[in-house]
Amino acid sequence: MNGYPDLIESNTPSAVIRGLDGLPFGYVHVLRRGEPGEPGEPVEPPVEPEPPPVPPHYPLLSQRDPRWEAVTLGYGYKTIGEWGCLLTDLTMALDYMWQENKPDQFDLSPTPAQVNDALKSAGGYSQDGYKCKLIWSRVPAAAEALGLPGLSLYKLTYCTTTPAPVDVIDTSLARGDYVIVQVDSNLADTDVDEHWVLITGGNKTEYVIHDPWLLPAAQKELTMPLAYCKPGWTPDRAIFAVAIYGQAK
């Protein structure tokens, strides 16, 4: 005997230590080698699971955002804040495409001012008097210059006097294409006051739209026919042109 109490190994959490006189004088935890928490062996922290990736979503951008509202649209005499609705719609679509293709560079998605510059470099505008008009077929080249190759113009149709092709819109939405439509910004008169919005969901009876005119940009989504429809109108009556872009999937 060395004068020290014997350690009694046990499967139970505690074991009794007895002195030489056989009387218990304390309790200690007796740990088997390899059990968690053994002194001298670090305990591995629990591994946190990776957060799920954020699914792509359309941003809510306003053409009247002070960051770009004063920028000249193309080569014209109007600004993005005044006439940049279509440009802002395109930017929201390209930002969605960006999220799909570059999810790790989420914060670098292009702004309307950057898309405007890319369109100018790609020959994406034509001058028509004081108007600066978009050349639809040049948008893919501008997108590629921004780092987004593979965009195609699938459809461009004007339907001023005929019902809009809502079946085509619905098929395109289901496929994940980008749908931009023209509406009448002033329903109080009889002509079509050109305005473009982005359709982000829904179907032929009710579409969710992102309206670039609204400010602030974090405005709530609108729906047609609540917006841009006279009483009794369905979306196919209220849409006067349809442009659909997409990327090969």
| Phi–psi pair at 98, nearest 5 degrees | -60, -45
Amino acid at residue number 133: K
Residue 224 Cβ, how far from Ca ion at the closest point, in Å? Answer: 15
CA distance linking residue 240 with residue 196, whole number of Å = 10
Does 184 participate in binding Ca ion (rule CB under 5 A)? yes
Would you call 105 helix, strand, or coil by DSSP? helix
Least separation in angstroms between CB 238 and Ca ion: 11
Q: Which residue, among 68, 76, 61, 55, has the nearest Cα to 180 in the 3D structure?
A: 61
189 near Ca ion (CB under 5 A): yes
CB of 229 to Ca ion, least distance (A): 12
Cβ-based nearer residue to Ca ion, 6 or 193? 193
Distance (Å, whole) CA 139 – CA 130: 21
**Binding of residue 186 to Ca ion (CB under 5 A):** yes
Closest to Ca ion by CB, 167 or 193? 193
- Name residue, tokens 């699971």: 49
The angle subtended at Cα 189 by Cα 128 and Cα 129, nearest 5°, is 10
Please select the residue that binds Ca ion; options are 6, 38, 193, 206, rule is CB under 5 A: 193
Size of the site for Ca ion (CB under 5 A): 4
Relative to beta strand 131-134, strand 151-158 is: unpaired
Nearest approach, Cβ of residue 226 and Ca ion (Å): 17
Binding segment toward Ca ion, per CB under 5 A, in 121-129, 147-155, 189-197, 224-232 = 189-197
Interface stretch with Ca ion, choices 31-39, 134-142, 154-162, 190-198 (CB under 5 A) = 190-198
Binding residues for Ca ion (CB under 5 A): 184, 186, 189, 193
